[in-house]
Amino acid sequence: MIKTLTLGTRASALALAQTELTRSALSAVFPELEIRLETFVTQGDKKLDLNLLQRSPGGGKGLFTRELEEALLDRRIDLAVHSLKDLPGHMPEGLELSAVLERAASGDLLVSKHPGGLDGLPRGARVGTSSIRRARQLVWLRPDIEVAEWRGNVQTRLRKLGQQDAFDAIVLAQAGLNRLGFETASGRMSFEQWTFHAASLEAQMYPAIGQGVVALQSEIARPEVRSLLQNISHQPTWLAVRAERELQRRLSGDCTLPVGVRTRQEGGRMFMNAVLFSEDSSDPVHGSAEGEHPESVAAEVAAQLGAP
């Protein structure tokens, strides 16, 4: 029986909030377990000048995960806590996705200086994001707006939006804002001296693969850790993750792949809808499938999106 467990995480406020969710879930099941915390600064946290909207041959693979994964393989930590959407499709040899917490809201929010959501943005508005998926969808939905690189943690992004007159809005994940304690249901959102309009984009934009999911990664050679983590894994979320990660694998994608996906389960069947954007401004390719087995559903959608 494991008596002490060391959790590894990025040092951002959101990462720490997700790690606290993990710690609380573990403590509820294993009250005698001693839980320690180790924080890391990843390359993605350091390289704030890196433009993630410009895809490179290496993409964003491991940008926010590599330091934690190295610590797992060196056994400086027992498990790594990630936002699942940051995990590359192919993990380093020796590591596995062992468990997931229950999925939070998976949609995006437009945090804007203007009311009315995406339709309320003035012509020629500037919107900030560091996500290729979000950027391609924004331009597809509103060809008249300008999308520009926008890096930093949630608080930094909100502060920059308030300070910079040149930008009209940014796009953030609803799950992250909620986990940080921001109230968005009213359609307005306060941060420091600013008040912004917050509009859901769930009906207009497809979320990222794994968006809203806290992922727990461990070493394959440590089945005792996997066994412990599976006590807090949320099975419906796990099934959805299996499907979405299989889609990512078949598309040979990392977290910079401009693909969006919606997955739901009903009556023992899985339903998946996905959209893949090209490098230019042409219309995206759509795919949809349903079935009982996550990987089979993902394989059918991937084929429709052009995967070999």
Give the residue numbers marked as catalytic: 86
Give me the helix-helix angle, 154-163 and 13-29, nearest 10°.
Answer: 150
Measured between alpha carbons, how far is 287 from 301 in angstroms, rounded to an integer?
5
3-class SS string, the chain: CCCEEEEEEECCHHHHHHHHHHHHHHHHHCCCCEEEEEEECCHHHHCCCCCCCCCCCCCCCCCCCHHHHHHHHCCCCCEEEEEHHHCCCCCCCCEEEEEECCCCCCCEEEEECCCCHHHHCCCCCEEECCCHHHHHHHHHHCCCCEEECCCCCHHHHHHHHHHCCCCCEEEEEHHHHHHCCCCCCCCEEEECCEEEEEEECCCCCCCCCCCCCEEEEEECCCHHHHHHHCCCCCHHHHHHHHHHHHHHHHCCCCCCCCEEEEEEEECCEEEEEEEECCCCCCCCEEEEEEECCHHHHHHHHHHHCCCC
